[in-house]
Amino acid sequence: MKQSQSVWLNTLSAIVLLSLAAGSHASEISDGLSGLPLAEIHKELESVPPGIRANMSRDQMARFISNVLIDRRMEKAAMAAGTANLPEVRASIARATRDLVVRAFVDGETKKLTQTIPDLEGLAKERYEVNKASYVIPEAIRVAHILLQVKAEEPESTDGVVRAKAEKLLTELRDGGDFGELAQKHSEDPGSSRSKGELPGWSEKGKLMPPFEEAAYALKPGEMSGLVRTRFGYHIIKLLEKREARQQSFEEVKRQLMTALRNEFLGTKRAEWTKTFQGDKPIVLDDATLEALRKP
């Protein structure tokens, strides 16, 4: 089977290559057993997203066409065998057809609704002014730390030993030791030690452990703390960067507001439109009917 498929692919690639060399395209592509006009292949390719289709290699395109030809021959065999007339197959086809038609219908109506969207910029400005406090970028910091852990199950016996080790490390840092290198070498926080002790992203207030956060926010960028004790052990913290709280302008959040208002408008309109297809009374099932429906 693999050898047969390889022959098909080679045949298809050769046809495409010869067509390109001749400066024109083939009107039909064949794998030796059957062929497809280019127009039909174009229709089949509609199932492939444009971005992917535009970058398909010669072999990928040949493989796609080969699979289409195989599927079409299998379809003919299935039809000849009467598979399409099996009750479960007919039911599946009906469901798939219904789903496809309904989806296309809903998509078409949604496109019509988008044409009725009013100019939302004025409303967006009103929402911005009313909720201005919601569009503040909060104060935050970027920090690195070195953690020496105190064993939770033996805090009394290990605290002194770990503290002494942390004090020695702090002295080395204050004498000019490289924070990042020492964090990679000594920090027992596996999540940050690989990044020279740096915690990922910005940390807003309330996101860090209270003792750690209090010490970190008291620092200036570039400064290093003394020993900070948390339930995990002893930390040495370095403040890398601080971001002051800042009010975002309307222009900065305009796209976000407009998108939200657009979605709200369409959501309301879709709900109103969908309601026209709903029944005018609830469905009530008695016990016997419910049990009958539950049975396969």
The pLDDT tens digits of the residues spanning 72-86 come to: 999 999 999 999 999
Range of the domain at 126: 121-133+247-275
Dihedral of CA 144/148/150/156: which sign? Answer: negative
| Rounded distance between C-alpha atoms, residue 64 and residue 58, angstroms | 10
Q: Do 239 and 184 fall into the same domain?
A: yes
Q: How much is the pTM?
A: 0.59
Inside any domain, residue 181: yes
Query: Is 291 part of any domain?
Result: no
Residues 191 and 263 in one domain: no
Whether residue 294 is contained in a domain is answered as no
Asked whether residue 287 carries a pLDDT value surpassing 90, the answer given is: yes
Q: How far is CA 129 from the centre of its chain?
A: 32
Residue at 196 is within a domain: yes
Q: Which CATH number does the domain housing residue 184 bear? A: 3.10.50.40
Residues 234 and 269 in one domain: no
- DSSP 3-state of 215: helix
The answer to whether position 293 is within a domain reads no
What's the CA gap between 193 and 63, in Å, rounded?
Answer: 47
DSSP string, 78-138: HHHTTGGGSHHHHHHHHHHHHHHHHHHHHHHHHHHHHTT----HHHHHHHHHHTGGGGEEP
Residues 143 and 235 in one domain: yes
State yes or no: pLDDT of 193 exceeds 90.
Answer: yes
pLDDT, one tens digit per residue, over 109-168 is 999 999 999 999 999 999 999 999 999 999 999 999 999 999 877 767 688 999 999 999
Residue 99 lies in a domain: no
**pLDDT at 296 (0 to 100):** 82
Q: Are residues 255 and 216 in the same domain?
A: no
Structure tokens at 88: 């479960």
Q: Are 52 and 128 found together in one domain?
A: no
Cα 133 to Cα 88: distance, rounded to the nearest angstrom: 58
Q: Are residues 146 and 234 in the same domain?
A: yes
Q: 210-213 — which CB contacts under 8 Å span 24+ positions?
A: 212/145, 212/237
Do 207 and 187 share a structural domain? yes
Query: Average pLDDT for residues 83-103, to the nearest whole number?
Result: 95
Tell me: do 258 and 186 sit in the same domain: no
For the chain, what is the largest distance between any 2 Cα atoms, rounded to a whole number of angstroms? 86
pLDDT at 22 over 60: no
Q: Is residue 56 part of a domain?
A: yes
Residues 253 and 126 in one domain: yes
Predicted confidence at residue 151, as pLDDT, reads: 83
**Residue pair 245/175 in contact by the 8 Å Cβ criterion:** no
Tens digits of residue pLDDT in 222-262: 999 999 999 999 999 999 999 999 999 999 999 999 999 99
> Which residues, in sequence order, are CB contacts of 55 under 8 Å at separation 6+?
none
Distance CA 120, CA 114 (A): 12
Task: Report if residue 74 sits inside a domain.
Answer: yes
Report the number of distinct structural domains present in the chain.
3
Helix (H, G, I), strand (E, B) or coil at 224: strand
Do 271 and 127 sit in the same domain of this protein? yes
Order the strands of the 203-204 sheet from edge to edge: 203-204, 140-149, 233-243, 224-230
Q: Are residues 206 and 259 in the same domain?
A: no
pLDDT score of 16: 44
